[in-house]
Structure 1
Amino acid sequence: MTDLSDEERWFAHEYFPMLITESESSPDDVIQYIAEVATRVTNTAMRRILHSCTPAVRAGLLMIILRCLPAEIYSDQSIFPAIASVQSS
């Protein structure tokens, strides 16, 4: 990965960690803020930003996104049939 711009570094080291902390109080707003960053920067820049984040920050962002999905998408009940169909192929 190439060096980050000042803005990319700010997203990775300050903004995303702050959003994770804030997600406890306003989860609906946080997903919107993540989406705004993703649409503002290029795909390459977003990859650089996420690569530069700590594993804890990446996990926190993933959990924020998963919380907005319907539970059946990631519940055991929906995962097992998907795994079974792949194994039987």
Structure 2
Amino acid sequence: MDKPIYPHHEYPFTVRNVRLDHHDSVRSHVHQQVSTEVERLERRIEVLRLTKAPHVAVMISAYERMIDHKKSFLQNCDLDERRYY
């Protein structure tokens, strides 16, 4: 089986306008990116909960740890949601 050309083929390519010389632009971009990753992991967990596969619990646990780490990163770097509302 051939490997896909783009490893993230399930997510469409989007152009992001990030100005690296502007601190707030970078912070906003990182917040958006990590938040999107958390949302994707949460959706995967929802789908896995409906699946009857032998290792679903292990996969869900791993995704939950990833979500916890990403949310902790946002909080530790003052990128949590409270700043953006």
User: Which has the higher relative contact order, 1 or 2, with Cα contacts under 8 A spaced 6 or more apart?
Assistant: 1
Is the pair's TM-score, using the shorter chain for normalization, greater than 0.5? no
- Higher share of residues assigned helix: 1
* TM-score w.r.t. length of structure 1: 0.30
